[in-house]
Structure 1
């Protein structure tokens, strides 16, 4: 059966936008869909066009914009907070707030800190400040996901920061590129929560946050690099996909994150851009309790799923059928799925059980507009083989905790696979290690944990890629998760917008070069 909330959410997403209201408060609101966008205040132009950019984002902050959570990726996409290391298009480490680095020993890395950098509050970036920010991340509870399974010791001298690891870690520079390890001024850490307001080093200063409604950023003229062309950015959080699409059509927002596939046809083709994403639409199965504790029942669910239909019917062909957890955004993975990989995966798979009126709960969230529709089709496919499905569909902020606690038999998640370090090992550990912090499948397997340890210690290159493939084969062999499709995000950019990043890793968007035609 289909949960009533799912049907309502589905109907609401299809309703046309009927009117715009201009309020006396200076907000332009999409009346039926609840998306409000802060009107851009007039700003003098000191360089570039001086225009402000209105940005509509998918999800509101989940943790008050603390950089020690996934909210850190918003700070990165707004170019307000920076890390020691940046990644290029190939995932290779490049200078950020660190100008150079070396591996002094198997367990020791030394980073030279950039000189002449000011925080937005006017204080100086120093090795001492860098060490303090990183130390705060290591002591956070819960830890940032990039530090799952990692123990760091941090020290500094007048020009460098030294990072020690409990085990040899060939990806320390890539780890330090994670937005969850941004470097902030001392005053960011003075309250109960870490505050990024006025404490970053990026070309834009975060000056105000309006709860889960929006945020305001101003150009920081003391930036150490090229100064921002735009005078500021006005951010609105708009979970409803139809509202985001309407904002792009009407010009209420100039940059729009994640236009839903179902809305793409209503927008001029030159305003939307498909970006292949390292993001997999995955069905996580609860391996600890309930019907899916039986691997044969998990195998039956996996066998019931028609991936091609999901891609065509829900994503209108704007996605790729999943062959594994890692998709086309990591093209090297296809070459790793050889005969040995297939044999390892199939060795662990059970024959599908015969299903007869097995009741399961299926959860997902509304923030990504396609997921409720995926749930409807998935329910049909599962019920066709004998499952009885009850759906629970809510906004992500209201369902995440229940999913992590294992309250669902199955959960559909649109999951980024290389956000943290440009390398998928952190994602695989987080989701499938016994102690992983994002283990929705409640999965724990000694063989997988051992394979994850090998992958984590392997040097970058072919050896590491092979180890990653082994982990994927084992996870799929256990049917802890069923990868269904790999998404291509649709990014909206109004006419006249230039210098906006189209980043597969979803960590860059607004940059110092982002601007609007006058």
Structure 2
């Protein structure tokens, strides 16, 4: 059920954000080598091992979401609209600062009821996490129970996209048993999704069982056996040899080695970009950032590295976001490029997405030609994230889905490029950029919010803090015996209640 305030809810209807829709995959083939058959266990290979011991407040939250462990008050549909999850309806007051969410009848995986008090406590803990989840970066969010099955969520300023914000996997709801005195959250058997974590083996594997009391209906698969495999070739090999039923993020170089029926691509809002450290080192100088931008040939990366599964970037918002192209304006007042004079820079990237080291090598040659001395640092993402966020490198090559956090084109700008942003790889803090982001956050009309986002985009690109390289398609490997696979343009969902062998 929708909120009874259509005028206030209009700010949520930022559609169509993405072309296409959620897809399902599979046929009526018999079970593969698992011998599971209908109701059997699904075997998946995910690309990113947990980097924060399954903390729900960072990037690990997306693994929990993809595995069907967690959910929040809302979720995103294919058009980027907030739709019911644990909340069945919501409405805001006249100020737009307070929203009341009416909960559905649901249980936690430990058998306790989902109550307004439990939900309010979970949201409060998430809002107080340090660092804050990107979805609430810069937002003063509070939550309290206001009656049986009703939760009031408030913000210091009017927030027309709060229901979108609450769809972020980092704002998932857990039972009271999940929260330790040390502030850590244990997601094993304490969430609300259709699959419950039962066993974790470090950062390498996880086992999940079907949660039979899931409010959305009993999942058709009896459980999931998950592997975290950073090496993309190894993920493709596991799919090809039928060691797994799903393989996330198949490298483009491996696509031709797989059976055609197992390769599924989807347009996303994901970019690969070069982020330049604006706080310390060589690229604190805007003139040298401009020199790096002028040195880069994005077409060479799109064709040579991504082999047709990407196109040269036009900005932060790619062609999958169909509204962006007609609203884009060229950045103004960019610094003039200066001679690098052999200055040494270290460019970091991660190998969980195998195209990234290849892209970094191409950039290394292009930047050397322009006069930089370039060193590369390549690690698994789990070993790199903290150093990236701490600004220990001059630059980083990273892949980012611009709609991953909330489905709102403005919120991601605050998290990635605002002074207080929690995923600010460029460490950018620019008064003009912050002002434009703040102005965009107040817009409730969908078209005006998009226009404001594009003005902020132009200002961000004008700083040369980030150099968008390519817009990506994501390739997922799905065994031919699988039915109901989720191909999500937001990259939050991987398996659902209807996914089965």
Residues 1:378 and 2:363 are matched in the alignment = yes
Alignment of 1:494-505 (within 5 A): 494-505=479-490
Q: Is the 8 A contact 1:171 1:460 kept in 2?
A: no
Cα shift at 1:191: 5.0
Residues 1:479 and 2:495 are matched in the alignment = no
Q: Indicate the larger mover: 443-452 or 391-400.
A: 391-400
What is the SS of the residue equivalent to 1:498? coil
2:11 aligned partner:
none
User: Residues 234-255 of structure 1: CA distance to partner in whole angstroms, max 9, x if unpaired?
Assistant: 0000001111000010000001
Give unpaired runs (5+ residues) of structure 2: 1-32
Alignment of 1:147-162 (within 5 A): 147-156=136-145, 157-162=147-152
Alignment of 1:314-463 (within 5 A): 314-337=305-328, 341-342=329-330, 345=331, 347-463=332-448
Q: Is the 8 A contact 1:284 1:411 kept in 2?
A: yes
In 2: Cα distance, 1:349 partner to 1:176 partner: 36
Higher RCO (CA-CA < 8 Å; seq separation 6+): 2
Give unpaired runs (5+ residues) of structure 1: 1-38
Residues 1:230 and 2:221 are matched in the alignment = yes
Q: Is the 8 A contact 1:280 1:485 kept in 2?
A: yes
User: Residues 328-382 of structure 1: CA distance to partner in whole angstroms, max 9, x if unpaired?
Assistant: 2211111111xxx22xx1x221222233322211111111111111111111111
User: Residues 36-94 of structure 1: CA distance to partner in whole angstroms, max 9, x if unpaired?
Assistant: xxx97x88x8xxx1111100000111111121221111111111211111111111111
In 2: Cα distance, 1:287 partner to 1:139 partner: 27
In 1: Cα distance, 2:137 partner to 2:102 partner: 25
Q: Is the 8 A contact 1:154 1:162 kept in 2?
A: yes
Residues 1:108 and 2:98 are matched in the alignment = yes
Alignment of 1:236-275 (within 5 A): 236-275=227-266
Alignment of 1:100-139 (within 5 A): 100-105=89-94, 106-115=96-105, 117-139=106-128
In 2: Cα distance, 1:191 partner to 1:76 partner: 24
Cα shift at 1:159: 2.4
Q: Is the 8 A contact 2:76 2:82 kept in 1?
A: yes
In 1: Cα distance, 2:198 partner to 2:181 partner: 17
1:140 aligned partner:
129
2:281 aligned partner:
290
What is the SS of the residue equivalent to 2:257? coil
In 2: Cα distance, 1:70 partner to 1:259 partner: 19
In 2: Cα distance, 1:375 partner to 1:147 partner: 31
Equivalent of residue 214 in structure 1, options 185, 191, 205 = 205
Cα shift at 1:290: 2.1
Q: Is the 8 A contact 1:198 1:207 kept in 2?
A: yes
In 1: Cα distance, 2:429 partner to 2:351 partner: 29
In 2: Cα distance, 1:163 partner to 1:118 partner: 21
Q: Is the 8 A contact 1:110 1:161 kept in 2?
A: yes
User: Residues 6-29 of structure 1: CA distance to partner in whole angstroms, max 9, x if unpaired?
Assistant: xxxxxxxxxxxxxxxxxxxxxxxx
In 1: Cα distance, 2:108 partner to 2:216 partner: 13
1:85 aligned partner:
74
Cα shift at 1:424: 2.6
Q: Is the 8 A contact 2:410 2:449 kept in 1?
A: no
1:188 aligned partner:
178
2:52 aligned partner:
63
1:75 aligned partner:
64
Cα shift at 1:287: 1.4
What is the SS of the residue equivalent to 1:436? coil
What is the SS of the residue equivalent to 2:93? strand
1:20 aligned partner:
none
**TM-score computed with the length of structure 1 as normaliser:** 0.88
In 1: Cα distance, 2:190 partner to 2:243 partner: 29
Cα shift at 1:401: 1.8
Cα 1:289–1:80 shift into 2, 3 Å:
closer
What is the SS of the residue equivalent to 1:348? coil
RMSD value, Cα: 1.4
Cα shift at 1:460: 4.2
Cα 1:407–1:190 shift into 2, 3 Å:
closer
In 2: Cα distance, 1:303 partner to 1:486 partner: 19
In 1: Cα distance, 2:274 partner to 2:474 partner: 19
In 2: Cα distance, 1:81 partner to 1:395 partner: 25
Q: Is the 8 A contact 1:348 1:474 kept in 2?
A: no
In 2: Cα distance, 1:238 partner to 1:403 partner: 21
Cα shift at 1:484: 0.3
